Amino acid sequence: MKAFFFKRAPAMCLCFCLFLCLNGCGGSVKKYGAAFLGTFDTTVQIIGYEKSKADFDEAASGAQGMIEELHRLFDIYHDYDGISNLKTVNDMAGTAPVRVDDRILELVEFAVDMYSKTDGTVNIALGPVLRIWHDYRSEGVSLPPRELLEEAYGLCDILDVVIDREAGTLFLRKSGMSLDVGACAKGFASGLVAESLPDGYLISAGGNVVVSGAPGDGRETWKIGVQDPRDDEENPIVTLGVYGGAVVTSGDYQRTYTVDGVSYNHIIDPSTLMPAARYRSVSVIGPDSALCDVLSTALFILPADRGGELAEAYGCDVVWILPDMSVEMTEGAREIAT
Ligand code: AMP
Ligand code: MG
């Protein structure tokens, strides 16, 4: 894992949070950037070094097409003509298995496998509970009643998610069940897109950053900023030097609402059915984007000692930002932080 990260930071620093500072570069290649909206509920940004803008545009538009396609497949809110997506699977809960694209099967298989590996903290069958929180957050007035959450939780058993690889189908055994892949779909999709890009590109999708090799201007690393949870996008709280793999952040500032002066975020601890409140944010650094995404959500819920153990088991490093804004890091994260 350490092969992905460098301790030494180049003097010139490209800081990256929800913003990008586009600098010029030497040599025969130039730096290009593109951004688009409309997928995974966030802005997707792509940066690459190419000899010509036409080369970059070709790579970036291929990446955009791919992420749009993955967005349609993993969407739980909208139908699209001619495809069976996760909304179709949810709509058919308790009724019949749905034949789906292999990439849906792969994502769901991966996420179901990670359920026990994350001590049950990341449960993609938590859809009914997450939908209630989503609706109450959209209203922004009150908290969901406990009984409503508990009743919904009765339909969240991961063992009732049936994956039939041979038939290529997905089935939710009970009517009213639903999948929510918010904890892992962006990381999974960004990882696939990064694999399809030439070496030395960076893709960022709302807290998920993946790079396909060191930047093409001769610098050793990309500098990836961990956003200050207090909304200061200009000044990252920590900057990490990476030349491969992913940095994925789960933060309490990403989707939140306030009731009686208390802020409630979007990451729900299945053991309490309430938003997790241990940290302001958790960033996971590692070779695999989908894994970092699942782990960032899990570690946001878990105590730091258990989270650290889990990250180590998967060859990942972690930056935790605590409610008092103090920063804890694993040793590997400290080595690449500035
Ligand atoms: P992330 O920003 O990657 O941590 O993912 C947060 C999103 O994952 C939320 O907006 C929900 O859609 C979903 N989510 C929240 N809590 C959980 C949970 N305990 N297990 C699975 N998915 C969750
Ligand atoms: Mg996640």
Separation of alpha carbons 242 and 17, rounded Å: 14
Per-residue model confidence (pLDDT) at position 232: 67
Q: Give the chain's mean pLDDT.
A: 91
Q: Is 122 in the pocket of ligand 1 (CB under 6 A)?
A: yes
Q: Is 250 in the pocket of ligand 1 (CB under 6 A)?
A: yes
Token pair in block for residue 244: 């491969």
Residues 71-83: tens digit of each pLDDT: 999 999 999 999 9
Positions of E strands within the chain: 30-39, 42-50, 98-99, 161-164, 169-172, 202-205, 208-211, 222-226, 238-242, 245-251, 257-259, 262-264, 268-269, 274-275, 281-286, 317-321, 327-329
Mutation choice for ligand 1 from 77, 124, 130, 158, CB with most ligand atoms inside 8 A: 130
The closest ligand to the CA of 182 turns out to be: 1
Ligand 1, closest atom to CA 206? Answer: 2
Ligand 1, closest atom to CA 208? Answer: 3
The 3-state DSSP class for residue 59 equals helix
The closest ligand to the CA of 153 turns out to be: 1
Q: Is 123 in the pocket of ligand 1 (CB under 6 A)?
A: yes
Beta carbons of 74 and 41 less than 8 angstroms apart: no
Q: pTM higher than 0.85, yes or no?
A: yes
What is the dihedral sign for C-alpha 234, 240, 243, 249? negative
Residues 233-256: tens digit of each pLDDT: 778 999 999 999 999 999 998 888
| Whether pLDDT at 10 is above 50 | no
DSSP code of residue 16? B
In this structure, the residue with its CA closest to atom 15 of ligand 1 is 267
The 3-state DSSP class for residue 94 equals coil
Overall average pLDDT of the 116-142 stretch: 97
Of 6, 7, 15, 5, nearest to 204 (Cα)?
A: 15
Ligand 1, closest atom to CA 294? Answer: 3
Ligand 1, closest atom to CA 121? Answer: 19
| Whether pLDDT at 17 is above 80 | no
| Whether pLDDT at 320 is above 90 | yes
Question: φ and ψ at 2, to 5 degrees?
Answer: -60, -20
Q: Is 270 in the pocket of ligand 1 (CB under 6 A)?
A: yes
